[in-house]
Amino acid sequence: MGRLLASALLFCSLLLLFDASFSHPLCIDSTAPLSLNTTLKFCSYNASSCCNSTEDLELQKQFVAMNISDSRCASVMKSILCARCDPFSAELFTIGSTPRPVPILCNSTISANSSQSSQAANNFCSNVWDTCQNVSFMKSPFAPSLKGQAGLPVNSNFSKLTDLWQSKTDFCNAFGGASSTASVCFDGQPVMLNNTEIPSPPLGLCLEKIGNGSYLSMAAHPDGSNRAFFGSQQGKIWLATIPDQESGGALRLDESNPFVDLTDEVYFDTQFGMMGIAFHPNFAQNGRFFASFNCDKAKWSGCTGRCSCNSDVNCDPSKLGTDNGAQPCQYQNVVAEYTANGTASQPSLATSAKPTEVSRIFTMGLPFTSHHGGQILFGPADGYLYFMMGDGGGTGDPYNFSQNKKSLLGKILRLDVDNVPSAAEIAKLNLWGNYSIPKDNPYEEDTGLQPEIWAYGLRNPWRCSFDSERPSYFMCADVGQDRYEEVDIITKDGNYGWRVYEGPLLYTPPDSPGGNTTPSSISPIFPVMGYTHSDVNQKEGSASITGGYFYRSMTDPCMYGRYLYADLYATALWAGIENPVDSGNFSSSKIPFSCAADSPLQCSSLPGSSLPALGYIYSFGEDNRKDIYLLASSGVYRVVRPSRCNYTCSKENVTSLASPSPSSPKSHASQLIDPCNNVVLLFSSLLLLLLGFV
């Protein structure tokens, strides 16, 4: 009985996974689509595609070699060849596990139950036959031998569809298919799934408070456990145990006993501090972790490095003047490596680490006292370290560092910290520390770029994340100047426009000692989401975006797949959704939020309001279960199921087959409506039938 129930639950899990991933883009080789910087010249796909420019050229050569004289047929055949580039080509070119040489052509006559309107919309297979049946072309992809019909004549040179197939019915039975909830077919256009309307935004986001500390960074423990690291701006990192959902517990950490204390090195002030932490993907084996922070040359002898204002970028430090009493490059951006080795029998068991640097990965002096960025992340697909760097400060980026390809300011850097060259090689390459350059960084194609640069044209990227379901979606929030706060999808060699643009708006800097960049000279990538300063309840006229995550937990199934972000100062949260999936077209809505009445730690409310008093929303976090956290000045908050705040979510099932105890978390299965409950009931009924009870 136990085995049968386990089988039911396993089948249910697989069914849920299939249902959740059905509309997920996937190429024929089971890889994720590529993010495109420019539109493919032949196949015309943009935003994302399963083809790169080389493969696009190969398809063009194949098309030319077919030598199709009829223009209408040529257009149809081009679309069929280019379907291989469709982000959903894995669905189009596969039946079961059998790959096909051509996509499944939409054919409404396959389904006897198709309505007249759907037949009109899904008769592409008939159109192919009607358009091309008597047109001769070379190397037809519609050879009947592909379907095992060797009796029909096959001409390896010029042939017509009528030479290969006896009738339209035979042709469409072989190459056609209907679109349904279990499959997709090709109608001559790029596949667009779930494209009927933008889903309604969730009715609200429910939070619980599980910690009183104020943290700037959170990193899930790489060992996959229910632990996470929390870093403060002052320079301490704690290892905490995260309570189960609905257990009534709070974060377990000892404030007096941090995992590591770097406050002797970190310079802390409003705009300064420890800005990021990152744990090596193999931390559980190698014990390596990294901290990104600011230091003050006047207070720490280890704070040494080149100034970002130098002759290479046409900047003279002596002309910068003082900024808030600080000398140019008195403050530095530092990324340093540390180790947990030697503090436990194995790194995954370590509860403390040594505060001594193992290696200085990066140091660079800052021209002004703001816009330092500083977040660090390991890419989930490539294992490289991404370092977010602000434009260095000053109103309007006066020295135009963000657009200067020789400057590392206003950029996202991509570094290899696993293969460090010798000191002589580092000096020869004029690197800023102990790292090497990934071979596929964009400087190989864009020779004007410094080799560390992955993307540029940013003002102050504040909190970036990789989508745990689609690692190619690298999202960054970029803080605006006066008018617009933005969210960008970061791509290789992408230029995000600052200071020519502030979000989608043209920007005119008040001072330009570093020269200007004209709008016509760049191809900016505009934000996919964002808001104007007038959209928020401003505090002293301020607005500053805080980037978040794609929500991938099933704790709140109505939030699944939406990108959460917030404003630092305002009592505002947004949820953005891409529609259709993988299109790059996002819409976002403000989301009401409140605190659960049974929150483990009491949530205070804003005066005269039911909104929880979060204070400043510094950052977001994600644990190994994909639950999302808000790191605020008033504490740590976790997203919980909506019904705990009396929000209605049609996808949430607040009942379960077996009522759990109040201290035990609900399983994923108990939070979802059909099909799981029906599957379990079906298996239970079958079991009773087999045992003779019914």
3-state secondary structure of 564: strand
- Contact between 530 and 486 under an 8 Å Cβ cutoff? The reply is yes
Write phi, then psi, for 446 (nearest 5 degrees).
-105, 90
Considering only CA atoms, which of 673, 560, 572, 566 is closest in space to residue 627? 560
Mean pLDDT (whole number) for 276-305: 97
Q: What's the whole-number mean pLDDT along residues 646-654?
A: 84
Give the pair of three-digit tokens for residue 92: 């189009």
Q: What is the pLDDT of residues 34-76, one digit of tens each?
A: 878 788 889 988 878 899 989 999 999 999 999 998 888 998 9
- pLDDT for position 680: 39
Question: Tens of pLDDT along 388-412?
Answer: 999 999 999 999 999 999 999 999 9
Instruction: Please say if the pLDDT value at position 29 is more than 90.
Output: no
E strand residue ranges, 340-389: 359-365, 376-378, 385-389
| Range in 173-177, 210-214, 249-253, 572-576 with the lowest mean pLDDT | 173-177
Closest CA to 484 of 496, 471, 469: 496
| 3-state secondary structure labels for all residues of 263-285 | CCCCCCECCECEEEEEECCCHHH
Q: How far apart (Å, rounded) are the C-alpha atoms in residues 72 and 10?
A: 50
In the predicted structure, residue 13 carries a pLDDT above the cut 60? no
- Give the integer Cα–Cα distance in Å for 579 and 112: 30
Helix (H) or strand (E) holding 65: helix 53-66
pLDDT at 14 over 60: no
Q: Say which range, 194-198, 228-232, 374-378, has the weakest mean pLDDT.
A: 194-198
Report the pLDDT averaged over residues 488-503. Answer: 97
Task: Determine the pLDDT at residue 48.
Answer: 83
Topology of the domain comprising 264-616: Neuraminidase (2.120.10)
Higher pLDDT, 536 or 615: 615
> CA–CA separation, 518 vs 201, rounded Å?
39
pLDDT of residue 684: 40
Confidence band for 610, pLDDT divided at 50, 70 and 90: confident
What pLDDT does 109 receive? 61
Q: pLDDT-based confidence at 665, cuts 50/70/90?
A: very low
Nearest to 523 by CA among 36, 33, 31, 6: 36
Q: What's residue 16's pLDDT?
A: 39
The pLDDT value recorded for residue 690 is 37
- Over 60: is that where the pLDDT of 97 sits? no
Looking at the predicted structure, is the pLDDT value of residue 21 above 80? no
The domain locations on the chain are 24-177, 264-616
Residue 299 corresponds to which tokens in the numbers above? 């207070």
688 pLDDT higher than 60: no
Work out the average pLDDT over 596-614.
91
Tell me the C-alpha distance between 548 and 366, whole Å.
26
**Distance (Å) of CA 215 to CA 174, 262, 274, 617, 621:** 60, 15, 10, 10, 10
Amino acid, res. 211: G
Model confidence pLDDT, tens digit, residues 153-170: 444 467 888 888 888 888
